[in-house]
Structure 1
């Protein structure tokens, strides 16, 4: 078997593994294809010609891309609708694993590391589990790896095209946009290329993002009388993880406490009363400003909450109060070795140069977002392809890894 045939065979293995695991996950347990964020009602509204509305009112509370994609399926009902969503998520999951494989190849990581990256995406429990819900994680992960694959392709128009895909990712999950911003900055400063080449690729990414976002901004300016670049949900998500009740119940409560129950419902009710009669942008600003005031008045507690959210985002096991012992053991057995490989792979030289640096920028960007905003383990699902690419790079030459670690230590010592 030649190298090309071997690569095709391994790519097929990656794709089939992704399909098989997601089929297994979708066929078991309760709560399959729950729609907690009301994407199906939004899709039905679009399909009916009413635009992005909820209960008859225009909304920007949820991002538009996922309900737009679901809209052609909205005429279906019952099991047919669930089967259609399942089929969509299966295709996206398989494509995400396959693109992780191709991206690793394009970055020059070799066939075996590409296979490792693809299998990590195929088998990741968080990403696979989210395929069984009517939520945006599956689509967001696909869009991220599609952008990384386009960066790695290296064509003349790749920065602009990949920027457009990152703009779509922002219309799917706005938390992708900080990573896009970091990627623009990295493209402007890292080698290879002179100043002109770096500016061209950085500007291309930024233009691609802005062009794709612009129709959404224009629509919101028309509907609400002011531009909304992402959604009107950000203030709520920020306040959900930064309020006095949360601080009291979770940060100052028993270790491992998960915020749920009566106190949370009372807080939700108080928010609804405070924002009653406001437009979505007004309510969004009110909640965001309340968090700014809280951070100013209690900076130490705010910092503590940020660190706690970061720990939750990167937790190796799900919350004990929500998931059973078997689920926690299986997740930990997968995640702990993966995190070890992630740390080792982060020293790979390809991730300090263009286009490889776009991979860690996606990881850092989402991590920063969920240091400030409400988070749990599922929030990291969109960056699983980026994690897989870095982790798969852990197995490189020992002498190169030693040099990389030495350089990091030396630079840290020098800056100190």
Structure 2
């Protein structure tokens, strides 16, 4: 639950002067960099690649959550970001709303990273992690675009912070660690997160498997004690589930009414599965040297042929749900027909998620020295983060780090099979930064002694 005792010390006034200066510096740097990219690329603010602005415009103009420039209902994109845009567009221009939401959530992410560092007892290194988040090239770049990176990263970081406040992750809070309302609030945050990016629905599966496995291993010599642990774990999860469903239920009910099917996620999943698993992608990207991108002309040609196939198979009036199912079926056929290429594509997606330099169109506006700088930055951070993963496992307080592992594992699992590029790891930035700074030897700060 969010209360004064949980807030980062810079906000409650319980930290040293040095801590306050560190907080202000991190927030200032993050704000200035994000504002600079917005001012430098103002046209990007309304370049609606993912049709979030189109859906938001329909909402603001009273046409409902529908396909842009129509009144046809859609569930192709998750609803949270368009709803936020639509609310702002009732008073301000689309460009101002995009800039405002992305800038605000970007700065909040930095602030929350400092709070995570406090809970992980990183001392002054929490400011290093926050600064890495503040200057992260991916997060800075996408601040100027109507895409979910900024909002999703903020919500993912808030979820991490909320999870660390629960007794189930071993944080020592004697005052109210067992209150169901804590789990309820964590569930609400999770509900917002999956309404922003549905891939995070894997979190409960990953966490649940790890929790049950951990109980079984820790209590393997005491079967009776093992089973007595399950009720408390179940109660915590039940409260979190209620919180999540309070947020997700309106989307579920709306889809049930509009489409006749209570769609929990979106009708976009089949397409993203097929986008990363089809013969053309295998031939033109996976089987080529690393760094080869899917050329725009080829991609457009594939999409046009795909549309023709859908019309032939389903007819021109096929619904979103029918199209989504058809896309999934075609992807499964491609995987079954070429299991070896699918495995190669999985490796390609892993490498793409953790790539250190931009590829494709992202390189057009970046000079050579800029690409090298970005590559060096990410190489250093990811190498340190990988070392931090191992180091945190050996720490006495390793359970406090568990939410970071769950978040990273969930994103990676989703992008083993679905279309992947480097920006998909944006929400992991604070977690990776915290793991990276954990390898640095440190002395406890005055606030943590």
Shared fold, TM over 0.5? yes
1:26 aligns with 2:69: no
TM-score (norm 1): 0.88
1:302 to 317, 334, 342: 342
With over 3 angstroms needed to count, the CA separation of the structure-2 counterparts of 1:75 and 1:210, relative to structure 1, is closer
Number of residue pairs matched? 395
With over 3 angstroms needed to count, the CA separation of the structure-2 counterparts of 1:189 and 1:200, relative to structure 1, is farther
Question: Alpha-carbon deviation of 1:327?
Answer: 3.2
1:332 aligns with 2:384: no
With over 3 angstroms needed to count, the CA separation of the structure-2 counterparts of 1:212 and 1:351, relative to structure 1, is farther
Question: Alpha-carbon deviation of 1:45?
Answer: 1.5
Question: Alpha-carbon deviation of 1:35?
Answer: 1.7
With over 3 angstroms needed to count, the CA separation of the structure-2 counterparts of 1:188 and 1:354, relative to structure 1, is farther
TM-score (norm 2): 0.82
Q: Which residue of 1 aligns with 2:105?
A: 92
For residues 382 and 190 of structure 1, the distance between their equivalents in structure 2, rounded to whole angstroms, comes to: 26
Question: Alpha-carbon deviation of 1:5?
Answer: 2.7
Q: Aligned runs of 1:329-408 on 2, under 5 Å?
A: 329-346=372-389, 347-349=391-393, 353-396=398-441
Q: Is the 8 A contact 2:356 2:379 kept in 1?
A: yes
Q: Which residue of 1 aligns with 2:185?
A: 161
Alignment RMSD = 2.5
With over 3 angstroms needed to count, the CA separation of the structure-2 counterparts of 1:397 and 1:76, relative to structure 1, is closer
For residues 75 and 360 of structure 2, the distance between their equivalents in structure 1, rounded to whole angstroms, comes to: 34
For residues 47 and 351 of structure 1, the distance between their equivalents in structure 2, rounded to whole angstroms, comes to: 51
Question: Alpha-carbon deviation of 1:181?
Answer: 3.1
With over 3 angstroms needed to count, the CA separation of the structure-2 counterparts of 1:83 and 1:203, relative to structure 1, is same
Query: C-alpha deviations, 1:133-163, integer Å up to 9, x for none?
Result: 0011110001011111112233433333122
Q: Is the 8 A contact 2:388 2:438 kept in 1?
A: yes
For residues 321 and 49 of structure 1, the distance between their equivalents in structure 2, rounded to whole angstroms, comes to: 35
Q: Aligned runs of 1:100-249 on 2, under 5 Å?
A: 100-110=113-123, 112-154=124-166, 155=177, 156=179, 157-190=181-214, 194-249=229-284
Q: Is the 8 A contact 2:42 2:144 kept in 1?
A: no
For residues 396 and 30 of structure 2, the distance between their equivalents in structure 1, rounded to whole angstroms, comes to: 26
For residues 13 and 189 of structure 1, the distance between their equivalents in structure 2, rounded to whole angstroms, comes to: 42
Q: Is the 8 A contact 2:85 2:97 kept in 1?
A: no
List gaps (5 residues or longer) in structure 2: 1-13, 167-176, 219-227, 311-315, 444-449
Q: Which residue of 2 aligns with 1:43?
A: 56
